[in-house]
Amino acid sequence: MSTFDAILQGFSVSLTPANLWFTFLGCLLGTIVGVLPGLGPAAGIGLLLPITFTMDPTSALIMMAGMYYGAMYGGSTTSILINTPGEAGSVMTALDGYQMARNGRAGAALAVAAIGSFIAGTIGIVALSLLAVPLAEVAIDFGPAEYFCLMLFAMAAVSSLTGSSVAKGMFATMLGLAVATVGVDLQSGLARFTLDVPQLEEGIDFLVVVVGLFAIGEVLSGIEQYLRGDTAVLRIQGRLWLTREEWRRSVGPILRGSMIGFFKGVLPGAGATISTILSYVLEKRLSKHPEKFGTGMIEGVAGPESANNASTCGVMVPLLALGIPGSATTAVLLGAFIMYGIQPGPLLFDTRPDLVWGLVDSMYVGNLMLLILNLPLVGLFVRILYIPKTILLPMVLAICLIGVYTINNSTFDVWLALGFGVLGYAFRKLDIPLAPIVLAVVLGGTMEQSFRRALAISDGSPAIFVSSGISITLLIAALIMLCLPLIVALVARLRRRSRQTGGASVAH
Amino acid sequence: MTSRSASSQRRASGIRARVFAAFAALALGAAVQAQTVPLDKPLTLVAHTAAGSATDLAVRELGKALQPVIKQPVLVVNRPGGSGAVQMTSLRDGPTDGYTLGLNTSSHLMVFHTAAKGKLKRDDFAWLAGLQTDPFVLYVRKDSPIKSLQDLVALAKQKAQAGEKLNVGGALPQGSAHSIAFSIFARQAGIPFNWIAFSGNGEIAPAVLGGHVDVGQTNPGPLIPLAKSGRVRVLAVMNATRISSYPDVPTYAEAGFPVDTTWAQVRGIFGNRNIPKDMQDKLTRAILLAAQSDSWKAYMERSSLLPLNQDQQAYTALLAKQEEIGVQWMHEIGLIKE
Amino acid sequence: MTDILIVVAMAACTAAYAALAAAIPVLNVGDPLGPRAFPTLIAVGMGLSALLLAGEIWRARRRAAPPAPAPAQPPLGGRGILTLGGVVALFALYILVVEPLGFVLASAAFLMVCCTLLNRRAWRVHALVAVGLPLALYGLLAKLLMVPLPAGLLPF
């Protein structure tokens, strides 16, 4: 059966009333899970597993996939409205999305997030349908050395988010890296910085840091503003929808974000978060007004949101084509596959095309459903901003508590989150940037472990880091990324000097 | 007369048949009764990993199989942290009525000497029943020049002569059940190696497929998709006998390296040591009964797990032996001092 | 002034982290780099950023014109600081009671007290929210999604 016929057959599977219902249920539950800060799609799908024991495997997988990308949609809503990223892939959205809300453009932000996610999801699914098997091969070429270079590149990208004070940005990054070192070290088996507390053995969950710094910190800051007499409610300015101008500015970021998201998703490991970082930084570099990023630029929402949805399709590539899970969520999905006695792998495309294409086609359907669900809800969600702060802010605190509690079923994490919350409040007042902290927490662990694994493999020789085309390319890219502001400033200064000396043209 | 004796004979045989039937029903009823161990309250099983992981799935499958046996619902709670330290602490400090139990793996034993040293020990708990064994397998990518364990050892020795070491991708740090398993083999074969630690087969497999490490070690279950699709070659399984999901894979002994195969990941159920003895026996019986159910057997089959089905005495003895071996190795590697 | 305090805080942080890092034993296990290398690097990075910040402050002081003063904000006042501290204390209390009292009761209590602390007049609305929201969330999460949330004192 040709691939095209298989895709069509998949639609006949995914469009049955039962499967449509499961797609819808998955998307709805996923949105709820995504909105709740702390409870992520991995845990959500894990909790669905027992319910699905008795279901038809295709339907069960459709529902779980629905939850996965539904969570991506949900996460962006709280990021934009209350600066509370619902999960890892929504952190970058909060940077400019929340500022857009403060500028009265919450409706536009939510709309571009929904539309961008839909377009990106569609592009991702098409790419998945066509490229799954060959792409999986490329993913394998990434070994520990290549991963380290990739992380270095991503960290170099993070360095462009430091804001006005390089020193403060650097410290924030260092702090994030330090948090990432807490826990049992995978290479040596030794516990680091755990102070004999067993709950710290497995490290500090990145979501605890995010919810603490962003959400709780924001609430405390908001309460302070309120107590200073600022009881104004955020007004919505202009239309609830995107202006033509905003739409025009968003198309590029959406397309670029989709590409980045999908291809990064294919590589096992932190696909969503890293692809959103790369997308945000790319848009900032390409923009004519990079200094305005962080104050409410729509590109900063369109890009990352598209990237994180496209990455959910990307992570399906190693899962379906090889049976390798690339993230915590796909690991749970793989567990589900095994539970049903289904072997993912290239054979799956031949032996169970109904399952594979039924699943993939349900993703098209699910994406469409989420768009239809979310767009009208934009008006409703925006009304959340009208809730008086005295009620909204404590509500957010309560939601933070549940969200963080459900990560590990422990109050210890909530105490940690509170601590980070107070820290986040203090940092806001001291003008220390928060994004580098969170991003360093995500990247730091993999970066260190990959570096040490690579050295162990090469028996101590650093040559392994320049032994493959991929690592060399990434190292050069990282270098360029780091030096770009310096090069740009140098070129600008030389150009100014040549203009001042008048006449005599200086080379470059 | 004949007709009368015939009819009375028939009546007698009719009565006999009915009596027999009644006895049969009673016996069957009693037999059916013996297949359940009814409890008074719902049971709670505590998993030490997050929802969706392999051990979490095991707990949920057990819960499903236990419900018809104990005639009560089974609740699953996830209490991750400290490789089981948090779960064990909560069981030690929790109720002793026997309605809250946990699932343990072999790795729990090592925790007594690392994270929970001085705080928890094996005797704090009652090890009620051993459920499953998860052996270890070694695998390479399909176009690797290594075709057997002998080839692997040859490569290791070759590398050693060049001043390098064999790169083994495995789960968890040195000192874990996984790394000790390879250490046992490496000692037998007399080869040095680098243990490249990953967090699970999701990370080991790409490293093996891409040729970044020479060989990978994992449990058979997660490897099935890759093995069945022919992307990897499984060299050997560390078990006394071949396993059904990999019928063509020799055991280490068959491949020329007889090792002590008691070292494998085992999983079982444990609880607070102060649970009343008769309750402990009841629980052991219930768990072992659940392990005979069709749903449990089907799960074990497709996850490539081997049934252990040991009662409390046997399981406790096994764990004691494993802990001894483990501690010995941790000394050798240098992870613990005294 | 505040910036100097930041430098001091950064230096203190560096010292603490470096001290803990030095306590990490280095055994000859695992990779060639060892578990102490990366944390040491981070400590160096922290120290560097403290120095850099000191440099930035010094350079800013030497600049001719002082930076434009930030727009004056209405004062927070002692009462405000107490209220803010009160919210943090309430949240801490919330964490303490959520397992024994159960999610619904603890959340209801927290919401009621916290909202009313911020705005005494609307206590009736607060009562409604305090009862409605936890019940709705609990129903959604604990019953629909079967997320384990502490039931505490309530029977469901």
Q: Predicted ipTM?
A: 0.88
Scan residues 402-431 of A and list those with Cβ closer than 8 Å to C.
402, 405-406, 409, 411, 414-415, 418, 422, 430
- Other CB atoms closer than 10 Å to residue A397's CB: what's the count? 25
Comparing CB atoms, the residue among C111, C119, C145 nearest residue A398 is C111
Q: What is the CATH number of the domain that holds B198?
A: 3.40.190.10
Indicate left, alpha or beta for A91 from its phi (over 0: left) and psi (-120 to 50: alpha): alpha
Same domain, B199 and B166: yes
- Structure tokens belonging to residue C85: 């501290």
Specify the pLDDT at position B235: 92
* Residues in C touching B335 (Cβ below 8 Å): 27, 29
Query: For residues A281 and C61, which has the higher predicted lDDT (pLDDT)?
Result: A281
Indicate whether B278 and B305 sit together in one domain. Answer: yes
B114 with B147, same domain?
no
Highest mean pLDDT of the ranges A8-17, A418-427, C143-152: A418-427
Residue of chain B whose alpha carbon sits nearest to that of A342: B225
A-chain residues within 8 Å CB-CB of B302? 338-339, 341
Distance from the A460 Cα atom to the nearest Cα atom in chain C, whole angstroms: 6
Minimal Cα distance from B118: which residue of A? A196
- The pLDDT assigned to B94 comes to 87
Closest alpha carbon to C111 in A231, A84, A416, A397: A397
Q: Which residue has the higher pLDDT, B82 or B275?
A: B275
Query: What whole-number distance in Å separates Cα of residue B60 and Cα of residue B73?
Result: 12
Picking from B144, B209, B332 by the largest number of A CB atoms within 10 A of its own CB, the best residue to mutate is B209
Phi/psi class of residue B82: alpha, beta or left (left: φ > 0; alpha: ψ in -120 to 50)?
Answer: left
Contact A191 B174 (CB under 8 A): no
Q: Which of A201-210, A414-423, B42-51, C70-79 has the lowest mean pLDDT?
A: C70-79
Quick: pLDDT tens for A44-57: 787 777 777 777 88
* pLDDT tens column, A338-347: 777 777 776 6
**DSSP per-residue codes, A219-259:** HHHHHHHHHTT--PPPPPPS-SS--HHHHHHHHHHHHHHHH
pLDDT band at A233 (very low <50, low <70, confident <90, very high): low
Size of interface A-B (CB pairs under 8 A): 171
Note whether B63 and B120 are same-domain residues: yes
B202 and B111 in a common domain: no
**Chain C hits for B77, Cβ within 8 Å:** 148
Task: Tell me if chain C has a CB within 8 Å of the CB of B78.
Answer: yes
- Domain membership of residue B117 (yes or no) is yes
d(CA A217, CA A223): 10
Task: Name which of B115, B207, B221 is nearest A338 (Cβ-Cβ).
Answer: B221
Is B114 within the bounds of a domain? Answer: yes
What percentage of chain A exceeds 70 in pLDDT?
94
Could you tell me where the beta strands, DSSP code E, fall in B100-238?
Answer: 100-105, 125-134, 136-141, 166-171, 193-198, 215-218, 232-238
Q: Which amino acid type is present at position A284?
A: K
Q: Are residues B178 and B165 in the same domain?
A: yes
| Nearest residue on chain B to A142, alpha-carbon basis | B210
Contact map slice: C 104-143 vs A, CB within 8 A? 107, 110-111, 114-115, 118-119, 122, 125-126, 129, 133-134, 137, 140-141
Subunits with 3+ Cβ pairs within 8 Å of C are A, B
Of the pLDDT bands very low, low, confident and very high (cuts 50, 70, 90), residue B8 is: low
Whether residue C84 and residue A227 make contact (CB cut-off 8 A), yes or no, is: yes
Listed in sequence order, the residues at least 6 apart from A54 whose beta carbon sits closer than 8 Å to its beta carbon are: none
Please report the pLDDT score of residue B152 as a whole number.
92
Residues 112-151 of A with CB under 8 A from B: 139-145
Q: Is residue B261 part of a domain?
A: no
Q: What is the pLDDT of residue A348?
A: 75
- Contact list, A32 vs chain C (CB under 8 Å): 140, 145
Q: Which residues of B50-62 are buried (b: 16+ CB within 10 A; e: fewer)?
A: bbbbbbbbbbbbb
Tell whether A46 lies on the interface with B, counting CB pairs under 8 A: yes
CB A430 within 8 A of CB A163: no
DSSP chain C: -HHHHHHHHHHHHHHHHHHHHHTS---S-SSSS-SSHHHHHHHHHHHHHHHHHHHHHHHHHHSSSPPPPPPP----HHHHHHHHHHHHHHHHHHHHHHHHH-HHHHHHHHHHHHHHHH-GGGHHHHHHHHHHHHHHHHIIIIIIS------TTS--
**Cα angle for residues B132, B136, B141 (degrees, 5° grid):** 140
More confident residue, B23 or A432: A432
**Section B18-27 average pLDDT:** 54
Is residue B245, in this structure, part of any structural domain at all?
no
Q: Please, what is the average pLDDT of chain B?
A: 84
Nearest to B226 among A191, A322, A341 (CB): A322
Least confident of A377-391, B289-303, C48-62: A377-391
A111 and A378 Cβ atoms separated by less than 8 Å: yes
pLDDT given for residue A114 in this prediction? 86
Least confident piece of the model among A190-199, B145-154, B179-188:
A190-199
Residues B116 and B148 in one domain: no
Block residue for tokens 């609830």 = A240
Q: What is the pLDDT of residues A20-31, one digit of tens each?
A: 888 888 888 888
Which of A159-168, A190-199, C106-115 has the highest mean predicted lDDT (pLDDT)? C106-115
Q: Which of residues 429-488 of A touch C (CB under 8 A)?
A: 430, 432, 448, 451-453, 455-456, 459-460
B103 - beta bridge partners? B269
Tokens of B270: 């444990």
Interchain contact A388–C (C-beta under 8 A)? yes
Which one of C83, C93, C145 makes the best mutation probe of the A interface by having the most chain A beta carbons within 10 Å?
C145
- Residue C150's closest chain B neighbor by CA? B77
Could you tell me which chain B residue has the CA closest to the CA of A450?
B198
Q: Which residues of B touch A45 (CB under 8 A)?
A: 52
Encoded tokens for A47: 């909790």
Say yes or no for a CB contact (<8 Å) between C30 and B334.
no
In this prediction, residue B233 carries a pLDDT of 92
Residues C148, B77: C-beta atoms closer than 8 Å: yes
Q: How confident is the model at residue A291 (pLDDT cuts 50, 70, 90)?
A: confident
Q: Do C27 and B77 touch (CB under 8 A)?
A: no
For the residues of B237-270, what is the DSSP string, one character each?
A: EESSS--TTSTTPPBTTTTT----TT-SEEEEEE
Residue of B63, B199, B206 with shortest CB distance to A324? B206
Distance from the A189 Cα atom to the nearest Cα atom in chain C, whole angstroms: 8
Predicted confidence band at C33 (pLDDT cuts at 50, 70, 90)? Answer: confident
- On whether both B146 and B293 belong to a single domain, the answer is no
Does residue B127 sit within a domain? yes
Please tell me which residue of chain B has the smallest CA distance to C35: B173
- Interface probe, candidates A397, A422, A464, chain C, greatest C C-beta count within 10 A: A397
Of A47, A181, A220, nearest to C42 by CB-CB distance is A181
What residue numbers bound the domain in which B310 lies? 43-133+266-332
Q: What is the 3-state secondary structure (H, E, C) of A316-358?
A: HHHHHHHCCCCCHHHHHHHHHHHHCCCCCCHHHHHHCHHHHHH
Q: How far apart are CA A59 and CA A354, in angstroms?
A: 11
Query: pTM for the complete prediction?
Result: 0.83
| Touching chains, A (3+ CB pairs < 8 A) | B, C
> Nearest C-alpha of chain B: how many angstroms from C30?
7
pLDDT at position C68 is 63
State the pLDDT at residue A3: 67
Domain count, chain B: 2
What does the DSSP assignment read for A37-76? SS--HHHHHHHHHHHHTTS-HHHHHHHHHHHHHHHHHHHH
Q: Does A237 touch chain C (CB under 8 A)?
A: no
* Closest alpha carbon within chain C to A427: C6
The answer to whether the Cβ–Cβ distance between B197 and C29 falls below 8 Å is: no
Residue B30 lies in a domain: no
Q: Is the pLDDT of residue A441 over 50?
A: yes
Q: Which of chain C's residues have a Cβ under 8 Å away from the Cβ of B175?
A: 29
Note whether A456 contacts B: Cβ–Cβ < 8 A.
yes
User: Does the pLDDT of residue B25 top 60, yes or no?
Assistant: no
- pLDDT category at B227 given cuts 50, 70, 90 is confident
Read off the pLDDT of each residue in B50-76 and give the average, rounded to a whole number: 85
Q: How far is C35 from chain B (nearest CA, A)?
A: 12
Across residues C72-81, what is the average pLDDT?
A: 77
Residues B184, B102 share a domain: no
Nearest residue, CB atoms, A410 vs list B81, B165, B203: B81
B114 shares a domain with B100: yes
pLDDT exceeds 80 at position A385? no
Partner-chain contact B81 A269, CB within 8 Å: no
Which pair of tokens denotes residue B157? 């020795």
d(CA C152, CA B104): 27
**What pLDDT digit, counting tens, does each position of A54-99 carry?**
778 888 888 888 888 888 888 888 888 888 787 778 888 988 888 8
**Residue B87 at interface with chain A, using a CB cutoff of 8 Å:** no
- B172 and C CB contact within 8 Å: no
Confidence label for B2 from pLDDT (cuts 50, 70 and 90): very low
Average pLDDT, chain A: 82
Percentage of chain C lying above the pLDDT 90 cut: 9
CATH number assigned to the domain comprising residue B276: 3.40.190.150
How far is B21 from A451, CA to CA, in rounded Å? 75
Q: How confident is the model at residue B260 (pLDDT cuts 50, 70, 90)?
A: confident
Chain A residues within an 8 Å CB radius of B198: 186, 453
Residues B142 and B233 in one domain: yes
> What's the pLDDT score for residue A27?
86
The reply to whether B128 and B152 lie within a common domain is: no
pLDDT the model gives residue A508: 46
C145 close contact with A: CB closer than 8 A: yes
Residue B209 is nearest to which of A53, A140, A326, comparing CB atoms?
A: A140
